[in-house]
Amino acid sequence: MSAEAHGHDHGHDHEHEHHHKDTFITKYIFSIDHKMIAKQYLITGIIMGIIGIAMSLLFRMQLAWPEESFKIFNVLLGDKFAPDGVMANDIYLALVTIHGTIMVFFVLTAGLSGTFSNLLIPLQIGARDMASGFMNMISYWLFFLSAVVMLCSLFVEAGPASAGWTIYPPLSALPQAIPGSGTGMTLWLVSMAIFIASSLMGSLNYIVTVINLRTKGMSMTRLPLTIWTFFVTAIIGVISFPVLLSAALLLIFDRSFGTSFFLSDIYIAGEVLHYQGGSPVLFEHLFWFLGHPEVYIVILPAMGLVSEIMATNSRKPIFGYRAMIMSVLAIAFLSTIVWGHHMFLSGMNPFLGSVFTFTTLLIAIPSAVKAFNWITTLWKGNLQFNPAMLFSIGMVSTFITGGLTGIILGDSTLDINVHDTYFVIAHFHLVMGISALYGMFAGIYHWFPKMYGRMLNKNLGYIHFWITAVCAYGVFFPMHFIGLAGLPRRYYTNTNFPLFDDLQNVNVLITTFALVGGAFQLVFLYNFFSSIFYGKKAVQNPWKSTTLEWTTPVEHIHGNWPGEIPHVYRWPYDYSNPNHDVDFVPQNVPMKEGEEVLHH
Amino acid sequence: MTSLLVIIVLVLLAVALWQLTKIFDLTQVGSSSDDSQVASDNDNNVQGYIMFGFLAFIYIFTIYGLLKWGNLALHTPASEHGLLVDSLMNITWVLIFTVQVITQGLLYWFSFKYKGNKDKKALFFADSNKLEAIWSIIPSVVLAVLILYGLYAWNNIMFVDKDEDVVEIELYAQQFKWTARYAGQDNVLGKANVRLIEGINTLGVDMSDPNAQDDIVVTELHIPKGKKVHFKMRSQDVLHSAYFPHFRAQMNCVPGMVTEFAFVPTYTTAEYRELPFMVQKVANINKLRNEKSAELVAKGGTALDPYTFDYLLLCNKICGASHYNMQMKVVVDSPEDYKKWLSEKTTLAQDIKAAAAAEKPAEGAEATTDTTAKVKDTVKAVIDTVKAAVAKVAVK
């Protein structure tokens, strides 16, 4: 026993010495400390988020006031793409493409999962750091590099990639088909290849850390749901991202070396190209084999964060802890066998469509379990409406609203007529875009004290949430109707179709909500950046939470805990446990003599 | 102008909120305790009421949306299978609205009802197998019904009976236009490949194929009411998607393969125009267009043409810069009118012959373009050899 304690002390001394030698560069730039890397992910994610959302506001303005002149277009897009302030049609597609890419990969994958997996995995399982701090650092810097390459692609001569974020060939393979498929597309592919390498390194690290570095007593069934979702997310990432990498590589081969994996029988710009025998449908399969799990890579961490925050702020255990784990596993498993629902009308055999309809609609069952369990968690709670709690409730709300329309889109028969219309935009923005964004905001409001040792201003948080909540519904709810009217997505303007003239007022309304909602994100940005420096000092456990991260000191230290790592004696949701007088019992508090476990 | 107004309103709102938070912050001076940024009982109370207000917002916004925008959605389907699609859609909508109203109601009602305060203690309620069984089984049963209905409909729509008497039409997609090819007397489409594209044979039809001799190429699609139309779709360059919203029909056009979709139109264009909902819709659109025309004329522009309804074929898969304007007019005729219209069209073989005859005098002009094409070909061949060499090196 004493030898073990000695070993720990020794380890700690070593850490301590190391800490003193930190220079600016090792501490803030090439840091191997998971807490610093989490913050790096977050700040990078926020910057990318600003760019991604700003782009959406630009193309929303074009949709509401088509081909009207706005000075800001000319300022931001330049004379080539917005002469006299009128947005050109090819840059419209580029904006749509890069908005999707940035939001899905750079904000909601790296920014969300990268931030919170890094921050919370070691802290919540009781580990001094990630299994490989060095690999973790490389993972961040590869992500940073990929973001830089993606941003560089915005400035190439012919414009950035414009074939949609799904980059279906042949459009993405042939510069003759769209200018953005030249250098812009090359940079897009390079950026994504680097991104995937980054993501794989991060995911492997998360998996190894969760499996090997849990503190004494932290069995898998005592893990907070956050860790479960990060763990499962990392597994899905490792399974599916390499497939996108192979798709990207094969596309690079088709583009640069004249192979025909995805291309066949093409006549363009007055000549027949040499490609023969390839199939764009193959690319669609490879793309969506990642692309669909990707939406769960985005939403699962948000679900984990929301579960944790809801339990803490309801002062109640999360309802159905084991059912929540089972549903996460079920969703993860199903997510890898439903990709074909993006391809009902791709020309693949309709029989496959039947199979994918079946597997897709099955996902509604674990999703329903999760939604009902969250609602039941609120029942008879003692709800503390911190901003994080508001965003969590908002997430459940948008997840339900957006998820329900999935029953329509996942049904091949109904998909025929709403496929690729604004109905799809409304659906996925609510169910994975806004929901994941809410999860991310909830996480930021909740763990800001852990990251920066200071509190975010709650009143600004309330304003941020309510305006965002109204605007999110204001933007995406009306989109269902214009989708049902048959309006296709990715149209630069609808003025060529008098049939759609009666939708124009709705488009103006949507854009107005988008502009207001976008502008109010500035409230969050102000709150975030000013609170880093001037926020109220945080106490050690401001939300009276049970998980281990709140047992670490407010000031960050290498190795997380100054002394021995705490042992774990109970599950993470002992809120309002009738055996105790206080309304929360942290995981490191031993069971009282004769105390029974009150949950399954 | 509108945008300027919006921006001004935004700025004013931001200033107002800024002031509000300042006041909030001022009221908290004095309470320098560290938990001043944690929700107090007062916050819980206020936010709880706003939660309730937000529930009202969702309900009212939904009802407003249904009343105001409900009639924008596509109405009466113009195809036989469309009825099946729409009935499944309606059943699904009833289910979705029920679940949406109940779950959102519970979520925000609980948020309001159980807003916290210091004297309360929450109920320790960790799990209940019974409840969880209920909300696993009910969705399973409901979904089983939806899946079965959906698959029944899907199989009916997608699998074309080979023996059935159908009208064969090829839809040909290219950046950024649609072309249609009719199979002619024999009702068999001639073979085609993009490698055979030459002159006015823009679809690459194999003119040595006997089946191709009576094929007819047109740019306006006419289909007969009450007969099954079997579309075979090709694309010459990138992915396109043939989307007929009014017929509840859609299928991607993929270079290198032939995709298909079949449906039976049930209203001629003239009949569909006369449906009460359509009369109203067109009147509404024309009202909006008149307002816009007045604006345009005031600015010195030309007025917009009044709108009459036509079925449309749209491209619904991003296909390039002018994707937003890739459309073809679709006309549903009575079978007699259809026959008459088709009989007036010349076949592709006749067109080619006529073009060849017309070309002869202009041979000189043709030659120059030929040389540029030849230069292009040589350059291309050089590039191809280099590419092939690179590929070989890469393989090695």
In this complex, the residue of B99, B139, B174 whose CB is nearest that of residue A365 is B139
Query: What average pLDDT does the structure give for chain B?
Result: 88
CA distances from B335 to B79, B166, B214, B340 (A): 15, 13, 20, 9
Q: For residue A583, which residues of chain B lie inside 8 Å, CB to CB? A: 121-122
Interface of B with A in 103-142 (CB under 8 A): 103-104, 106-108, 110-111, 114-117, 120-128, 131-132, 135-136, 139-140
First to last CA, chain A: 33
Interface test mutation site (partner B, options A101, A450, A452, A459, max chain B beta carbons within 10 A): A459
Best of A265, A365, A377 to mutate (most B CBs within 10 Å, chain B): A265
- Distance from the first to the final alpha carbon of chain B: 63
Where does the pLDDT of residue B31 fall: very low under 50, low under 70, confident under 90, or very high at 90 and above? very low
Q: Do B107 and A378 touch (CB under 8 A)?
A: yes
Helices A350-362 and B129-158, packing angle to 10 deg: 160
DSSP letter for each residue of B213-244:
TT-EEESSEEEETTS-EEEEEEESSS-EEEEE
| Contact criterion met (CB below 8 Å) for B314 and B326 | yes
Task: For residues B57 and B60, give the distance between their C-alpha atoms in angstroms, rounded to a whole number.
Answer: 5
Contact A100, A490 (CB under 8 A): no
Pair of tokens at residue B38: 């944690």
d(CA A142, CA A157): 25
- Pick B360 or A178 by higher pLDDT: A178
Look at residue A325 and give its three-state secondary structure.
helix
Q: Helix and strand tally (H, E) in chain B?
A: 9, 10
Task: Tell me, yes or no, if B381 comes closer than 8 A to chain A by beta carbon.
Answer: no
- What span, in angstroms and rounded, lies between the C-alpha atoms of A507 and A505? 5
Chain A residue with CA closest to B287: the answer is A502
DSSP letter, residue B124: -
* Alpha carbon A217 to its chain's center: 31
The size of the A-B interface in CB pairs under 8 A is: 423
In this predicted model, what pLDDT tens digit does every residue of B298-354 receive, in sequence order?
Answer: 988 888 899 999 999 999 999 999 999 999 999 999 999 999 999 999 999 999 999
Rg of the Cα atoms in chain A: 25
**Chain B residue with Cα closest to A579:** B124
Amino acid of residue B98:
T
- Rounded to whole angstroms, how far apart are CA atoms B272 and B247? 11
Quick check: helix, strand or coil at residue B320? coil
Q: Are B214 and B240 in contact (CB under 8 A)?
A: no
What residues of chain B, 273 to 302, have a C-beta less than 8 Å from chain A?
A: 281, 284-285, 288-289
CA distance A41 to A238: 19
Task: Provide, rounded to the nearest whole percent, the portion of chain B with pLDDT above 70.
Answer: 85
Strand locations in A432-527 (E): none
Contacts of A593 (CB under 8 A, 6+ apart): none
Instruction: Name the closest residue on chain B to residue A322, using Cα atoms.
Output: B127
Q: Which residue carries 């944790």 as its tokens? A: A308
CB A202 within 8 A of CB A136: yes
- Bridge pairing between strands B229-235 and B311-315: unpaired
Cα atoms found within 13 Å of the Cα of residue B136, Cβ hemisphere only? 13
Tokens of B363: 């041979």
B25 — contact with chain A (CB < 8 Å)? yes
**A267/B21 CB distance under 8 A:** no
Rounded Cα–Cα distance for residues A483 and B74 (Å) = 9
Out of A264, A357, A390, the one facing B151 most closely (by C-beta) is A357
Positive/negative CA dihedral, A103, A108, A109, A112: positive
Separation of alpha carbons B155 and B162, rounded Å: 14
Is a pLDDT exceeding 80 seen at residue B238? yes
Contacts of A168 in chain B (CB under 8 A): 238-239, 317-318
Residue of B nearest to A378 (CA): B110
Closest CA to A409 of A469, A349, A371, A363: A363
| Cross-chain Cβ contact A382/B122 below 8 Å | yes
Average pLDDT over residues B95-124: 94
C-alpha to C-alpha distance for A548 and A589, rounded to whole angstroms? 10
| Minimal C-alpha gap between B7 and chain A (Å) | 9
Count CB-CB contacts under 10 A for residue B171: 24
Q: Does B250 touch chain A (CB under 8 A)?
A: yes
Q: Between B37, B57, B126, which is nearest A536 by CB?
A: B37
B49 touching chain A per CB within 8 A: no
Is residue B34 within 8 A of residue A538, CB to CB? The reply is yes
Q: What is the pLDDT along chain A (600 residues), one digit of tens a residue?
A: 333 444 344 444 444 444 556 777 777 888 889 999 999 999 999 999 999 999 999 999 999 999 889 999 999 998 889 988 999 998 999 999 999 999 999 999 999 999 999 999 999 999 999 999 999 999 999 999 999 999 999 999 889 999 999 999 999 999 999 999 999 999 999 999 999 999 999 999 999 999 999 999 999 999 999 999 999 999 999 999 999 999 999 999 999 999 999 999 999 999 999 999 999 999 999 999 999 999 999 999 999 999 999 999 999 999 999 999 999 999 999 999 999 999 999 999 999 999 999 999 999 999 999 999 999 999 999 999 999 999 999 999 999 999 999 999 999 999 999 999 999 999 999 999 999 999 999 999 999 999 999 999 999 999 999 999 999 999 999 999 999 999 999 999 999 999 999 999 999 999 999 999 999 999 999 999 999 999 999 999 999 999 999 999 999 888 999 989 999 999 999 999 999 988 899 999 999 888 888 887
Q: Which residues in chain B are closer than 8 Å to A498, comparing Cβ atoms?
A: 285, 289, 304, 307
CB A240 within 8 A of CB B168: no
Cβ neighbours, 10 Å, residue B142 = 17
Residue B177 Cα to chain centre, angstroms:
16
Report the SS3 class of residue A421. strand
| A107 DSSP 8-state letter | I
Rounded mean pLDDT, B3-29? 67
Please say whether the beta carbons of A350 and B262 come within 8 A. no
Q: Which two tokens stand for residue A24?
A: 């600016």
Comparing CA positions, the residue from A437, A132, A407 lying closest to residue A302 is: A437
pLDDT of residue B19: 72
Q: Is the pLDDT assigned to residue B22 strictly greater than 80?
A: no
Beta bridge partners of A272: A267
What are the Cα distances from residue A419, in Å, to A198, A408, A440, B94, B236? 33, 10, 29, 20, 22
Q: Which residues contact B96 (CB under 8 A, 6 or more apart)?
A: A404, A405, A407, A408
B6, B205, B231, B238, best to mutate vs chain A, most A CBs in 10 Å: B238
Chain A contact for B259 (CB, 8 A cutoff):
yes
State pLDDT tens for residues A287-326: 999 999 999 999 999 999 999 999 999 999 999 999 999 9
